[in-house]
Amino acid sequence: MTETILVVEDELAIQTLLKRELGFENYQVYVASTGTEALALYEQLQGTLDLILLDWMIPEIDGLGVLRRIRRTDSLLPVIFLTAHDFSGDKVAGLNSGADDYITKPFDMEELLARIRVIFRHQAQLHQTTPSYQVSGLVLDTKAHQAAYNGQQIQLTQREYSLLLTFMQHVGQPLTRDEILDDVWGTDFVGQMNIVDVYVRQLRQKLHDIQESTIVIETIRGIGYVLKEVSADEN
């Protein structure tokens, strides 16, 4: 099956390069130069898109604004930010808004292609898992790609969902950052390891925000993290 990618980039040279190189990899590619065009194409292609490559600094509506609008209705569509911003605050803002990954310009095309392959490979693996996982009131439905606590749905991005799946497959078992990185981002991930900490914080906050939740992600110093059930008094 041919995956479909929407490239949102206003620099013509980069847009042309991405369209050509992704085409060589047999991806079906659509392009947009502004935030308005991106949202219009997203609406037109909704349900058939597999990935968005989204530049931060685009006209009319910036990439962050585009992402936030998409995440109002679609929490699972993978999005990789293409950004000239190399500040950790900007990267965190993008990840907090629902981006699955980011790559800083100027980027190496082989690195970008590797990250795309990781996302698509991991999506395929998600469809081959056990139908559902449950820890106390927390249920992860792998067919619907949804999580809920006592029937209350939890809004997760694709990456947060993958991270929660990994934790629920290893309930009570401490996982190192390397193990999490390999399982959620892939063994050939070439980004920074602290991306694990960013996503764990986001997922931990979403679990904490659930009323009467007894599921927590604890930090184990010198090792990594563990998902476990605690008493209501402990949480």
Rg (CA), the chain: 18
Other residues' Cβ atoms within 10 Å of the Cβ of residue 106 = 7
- Rounded Cα distance between 133 and 84, Å, is 39
Which residues face 229 on adjacent strands?
215
Query: pLDDT per residue over 54-90, tens digit each?
Result: 999 999 999 999 999 998 888 889 999 988 766 555 6
Q: The pTM is what?
A: 0.65
Residue 189 backbone class (left: φ over 0; alpha: ψ -120 to 50; beta: rest): beta
| Contact present, 197 and 95 (Cβ < 8 Å) | no
Other residues' Cβ atoms within 10 Å of the Cβ of residue 226 = 17
| φ, ψ for residue 51, nearest 5 deg | -165, 145
Please, what are the domains in the chain?
4-125 (3.40.50.2300), 131-229 (1.10.10.10)
H/E element, 146: strand 146-149
The pLDDT of residue 151 is 87
**How far does CA 208 lie from the centroid of its chain?**
20
The pLDDT of residue 87 is 56
Helix pair angle (88-96, 63-71), 10° resolution: 20
Query: pLDDT per residue over 101-146, tens digit each?
Result: 888 888 899 999 988 988 888 777 666 666 789 998 999 988 888 8
Amino acid present at 212: E
